[in-house]
Amino acid sequence: MEGIGDEAYLATPGLHILSDGYYISIALGNLSDKENQEMLKEAGLLAVDNLKATLK
């Protein structure tokens, strides 16, 4: 998924993110469901924003 952290992709069990040397995983049900993918994208963006705020 583009625009989330340095790298992000969907794979079991959910969204996997690499940002500033930190690994984040967010799990959510059926990855084929477009609604779930949108929720994961929103959660991923929020997680990366929170990580960056914490690291300041």
Domains held by the chain: number = 1
- Determine, yes or no, domain membership for 50: yes
> pTM of the predicted model, to two decimals?
0.92
Q: How confident is the model at residue 2 (pLDDT cuts 50, 70, 90)?
A: very high
pLDDT tens digit string along 9-47?
999 999 999 999 999 999 999 999 999 999 999 999 999
Domain interval for residue 47: 7-55
Q: What one-character-per-residue DSSP string does 1-56 give? A: -TTSSSEEEEETTEEEEEETTEEEEEE-S-TT-HHHHHHHHHHHHHHHHHHHHHH-
